[in-house]
Amino acid sequence: EAQVTQNPRYLITVTGKKLTVTCSQNMNHEYMSWYRQDPGLGLRQIYYSMNVEVTDKGDVPEGYKVSRKEKRNFPLILESPSPNQTSLYFCASSPRLAESNEQFFGPGTRLTVL
């Protein structure tokens, strides 16, 4: 089944404790992206990756890191989480932009930082 998976789905952590949210897609998509969803703010793009080893900042990259060492995986790293990073996070993937840019979204990760 074609899908985007995220782990964990739910996470409660404390300020300053490094964490990684994994994202994996099995559709051989070149493009992957991370979003956060907050009430009243919609979805905001954190980082995106056009292909392996190619990443760039979205609109709200502060406090986050990403890497794209393999085509299928795009982990989101919070080196020192803070309470303002409490949010619902979505990973998405898409085929090459020239072909189609509909995004396929993962199920979401609800993160709470105390």
Partner 1 sequence: AQKVTQAQTEISVVEKEDVTLDCVYETRDTTYYLFWYKQPPSGELVFLIRRNSFDEQNEISGRYSWNFQKSTSSFNFTITASQVVDSAVYFCALNSGTYKYIFGTGTRLKVLA
Give the interface with partner 1 as residue ranges (CB under 8 A).
Answer: 31, 33, 35, 40-45, 48, 50, 56, 58-59, 88, 90, 92, 97, 100-105, 107-108
- Give the integer Cα–Cα distance in Å for 31 and 71: 9
CB of 84 to partner 1, least distance (A): 18
Could you tell me the two tokens for 96? 């090459």
Q: Which of 47, 44, 24 is nearest to 107 (CA)?
A: 24
Least distance between partner 1 and beta carbon 25 (Å): 14
CB 55 within 8 A of CB 47: yes
Smallest gap from residue 103 Cβ to partner 1 (A): 7
- Of 14 and 97, nearer to partner 1 (C-beta) is 97
